[in-house]
Amino acid sequence: MDEYTSLTPQPGKLEVHVTEDVANDLYQFISRQGWEYEEGLRLLLGAGMGYLRSSKILSETDPESKEKEIHQLIARLVETESRLAATRFRMSELQQANESWELSTGAVNTERVGLSNVVKRQREEIDQLHAEVDRLKQENAQLMNRVDQQDLSSPGSDPVQLEPTSRHKHLATWLEKLRG
């Protein structure tokens, strides 16, 4: 048994060793056709098989056998062409779906980036508000101490007058934004 008869093909895989000249010729031919390399190899292999099958049929001497083979070849050609047309249509649909998916993925990613920026800004604002609330709590505690220290029971004493500060106005603005 030689190396060729001992080969058992693996489904979906075929390996062929050729000379550098043949490989270059194949590559140039496929390039001129505008095919992708592997697609071109498949097309050439299929075309070669079709040619060899048809030349075998045409060399038949028995007219009855020849006619039967020709009808089988025609039936196979019709089936192959119909499958090819259906496959090309399906491929076109899948390409359109892929383009739509890529567009929607891009839009989703853009939206994600935009929302991430909004969240970042809002977190910064929340941190600023927490700092302002802490500062106001301290200020309130100081004012409460001043009120506690004032003798409110003595007649004629003026209560502590609190003037609104720019910080109070700033806090009021923030609160309006939060409510609005």
Which pLDDT belongs to residue 150? 67
pLDDT at 142 over 60: yes
Confidence of residue 1 (pLDDT cuts 50, 70, 90): very low
* 147 closest CA partner among 168, 161, 164: 161
Q: How many domains does the chain have?
A: 1
Fill in the amino acid letter for 99. E
| Window from 28-37, 60-69, 80-89 with minimum mean pLDDT | 60-69
pLDDT at 107 over 90: no
Mean pLDDT of 28-57: 88
Q: How far, in Å, CA of 10 to CA of 17, rounded?
A: 16
Mean pLDDT of 59-78: 82
Which residues, at least 6 apart from 91, have a Cβ–Cβ distance to it below 8 Å?
A: none
Q: Give 6-32 pLDDT, tens digit per residue.
A: 566 667 777 889 999 999 999 999 999
pLDDT at 61 over 90: no
Which residue has 């979906």 as its token pair?
A: 12
- Phi and psi at residue 35, in whole multiples of 5°? -90, 155
**What are 131's two structure tokens?**
């700092």
Q: How far, in Å, CA of 148 to CA of 150, rounded?
A: 6
Mean pLDDT of 20-47: 92
Which residues, at least 6 apart from 178, have a Cβ–Cβ distance to it below 8 Å?
A: 129
39 assigned to some structural domain:
yes
135 assigned to some structural domain:
no
89 assigned to some structural domain:
no
Looking at every residue in the chain, the average pLDDT score rounds to: 82
Q: What is the largest CA-CA distance in the chain?
A: 137
Q: How far, in Å, CA of 76 to CA of 129, rounded?
A: 77
Q: Which range marks the domain in which residue 36 is found?
A: 16-59
52 assigned to some structural domain:
yes
Which pLDDT belongs to residue 126? 93
pLDDT at 163 over 80: no
Distance between alpha carbon 17 and the CA centroid of its chain, in Å?
A: 38
Is pLDDT larger for residue 61 or for residue 158? 61
94 assigned to some structural domain:
no
144 assigned to some structural domain:
no
81 assigned to some structural domain:
no
Which pLDDT belongs to residue 153? 47
117 assigned to some structural domain:
no
